[in-house]
Amino acid sequence: MSHLLDTNFVIGLLRGRGTHWEHLDRLLTERLPAVSVVTRAEVFAGCHPHEEPATRRLLDRFESIPVNAAIADLAGKYVYHFRRRGLILHLEDAVIGASAVIEGVIVVTHNVDHFPMLALGKNLLRFPA
């Protein structure tokens, strides 16, 4: 099983955090991690023009998981389900979570509380552990 890097993990890589790069090296021994196209959008939304070349070089190293109909439908169901329980789930996180479920990958994130649809230890990995 591979991994899906959440936006906050990718930002840690871009900021040169050694622990992030060390963890990425460990993940690379299994298989190349992926990012959601939503993560790409979130990263570029906060990217200054002078940072774009380095940002693109990093993001282009990973497979980008597109949002297809199955992912979109499941993400919408997650938002609906959790809203009825009184929890606000951002669409971006719902799409990333749905991508993990549909693609059968593990999300690597600092913000495990953003992914109530995923089970810690099964398809959700808190970083740092």
Which CATH code of 3.40.50.720, 3.30.1360.120, 3.40.50.1010, 2.60.40.1220 fits the domain covering 3-66+104-126?
3.40.50.1010
Alpha helices in 3-129 (DSSP H): 7-14, 18-28, 37-45, 52-59, 69-84, 91-103
Under a CB-based contact definition with an 8 Å cutoff, are residues 61 and 29 in contact?
no
Q: What is the pLDDT of residue 121?
A: 85
- Domain ranges in the chain are 3-66+104-126
Q: What is the pLDDT of residue 111?
A: 94
Asked whether the predicted pLDDT for residue 1 surpasses 80, the reply is no
The Cα 110–Cα 23 span in angstroms is: 13
pLDDT digits (tens, 9 = 90+) for 6-53: 999 999 999 999 999 999 999 999 899 999 999 999 999 999 999 999
pLDDT digits (tens, 9 = 90+) for 57-109: 999 999 999 999 999 999 999 999 999 999 999 999 999 999 999 999 999 99
Q: What is the pLDDT of residue 30?
A: 87
